[in-house]
Structure 1
Amino acid sequence: MSDFLHALLAQEEELQFDYFTNEDAFELGCIIVKHAKDVLGKGIAVHIENGEVPLFTHYMTGTSKDNTYWINAKKNVVRHFGHSSLYVGEKYKAEGTTFKDGSGLPLEEYQGEGGSFPIIVRGQGVVGTVTVSGLAGEEDHQVAVDGLRHYLTRT
């Protein structure tokens, strides 16, 4: 397994919650939006779910209904595989295939592109997703990771 794939799995081990509430989703979403605005200066769409219950959705200026497709397609990958959408897409590339050919899943509903990250609760496993859309896949992934890291390490 490549160093990159190991690093992506290490992020999933690092960025775990003791519990995850609706208030956590709201605060996490606000942190991600603020980061995109203040640090990146770019508009993104952010969607956070617990199970399949939407808890936070915000489309910044510069996003469109196209972001809805990407949010849904990337979060479906996390739900199906239990790993970040970037990890899943990169794993197929490392195996010498594409997400489409390797997974056999319809691209209308699934995309192995970066931007959706599992919300993991220790002792429970994956309970939801945080998904970012609007940048390149690896950048979307990094925005989600940065937001989670900031939220989980705040004092």
Structure 2
Amino acid sequence: MSDFLQALLAQEEELQFESFTNEDAYELGCIIVKHARDVLGKGIAVHIENDEYPLFTHYMTGTSKDNMYWVNTKKNVVNRYGHSSLYVGEMYKAQGTTFKEGSGLSLDEYQGEGGSFPIIVRGRGKAGTVTVSGLTGEEDHQVAVDGLRTYLTR
């Protein structure tokens, strides 16, 4: 396994909650939006849900309905594989193929691009997703990771 894939898995091990509530989703979403506005100076879409329903959604100025497609398709990858959408896309690249060819999944519903990250509750497993759209896949992933890290270390 490549160093990059190992680093992505290490992020999933590091960025875990003791519990995850609706209020956690709201606070995490606000942290990510504030970071995009104040640090990046860019508009992004942020969507957070538990494994049952949406808890936080905000589309900043500069986003469009196209971001809904990316949010949904990246989130679907995390829900199917249990790992970040960036990890899944890179996993297929490491196997010498593409997400489209290797997964056989419809690109209308799944995209192995960075930006969606599993919300993991320690000892319980995946409890939801946080998804960012509006930048490159790697940047979307990093914004989600930075938001989670900020929230969990406050």
Superposed pair shares fold, TM > 0.5: yes
2:54 maps to a residue whose letter is P
The RMSD of aligned alpha carbons is 0.4
Q: Alpha-carbon deviations, 1:66-120, whole Å to 9, x = none?
A: 0000000000000000000000000000100000110111000000000000000
TM-score (normalizing by structure 1) = 0.99
Q: Which residue of 2 aligns with 1:121?
A: 121
Distance in 2, matches of 1:52 and 1:113, equals 23
Kindly tell me the number of residue pairs found equivalent between the two proteins: 154
Residue 96 of structure 2 corresponds to 96
Matches within 5 A, 1:30-109: 30-109=30-109
Which blocks of at least 5 consecutive residues in structure 1 are unaligned?
none
Identity of aligned residues (%): 85
CA distance in 2, matches of 1:61, 1:79: 27
What CA deviation, in whole Å up to 9, does each residue of 1:25-70 have, x standing for no partner? 0000000000000000000000000013100000000000000000
- Aligned-pair CA distance for 1:123: 1.2
Partner of 2:5: 5
Q: CA deviation at 1:151?
A: 0.1
What's the TM-score, normalizing by structure 2? Answer: 0.99
Could you list the runs of 5+ residues in structure 2 that have no partner in the other structure?
none
Residue correspondence of structure 1 range 133-152 to structure 2 within 5 A: 133-152=133-152
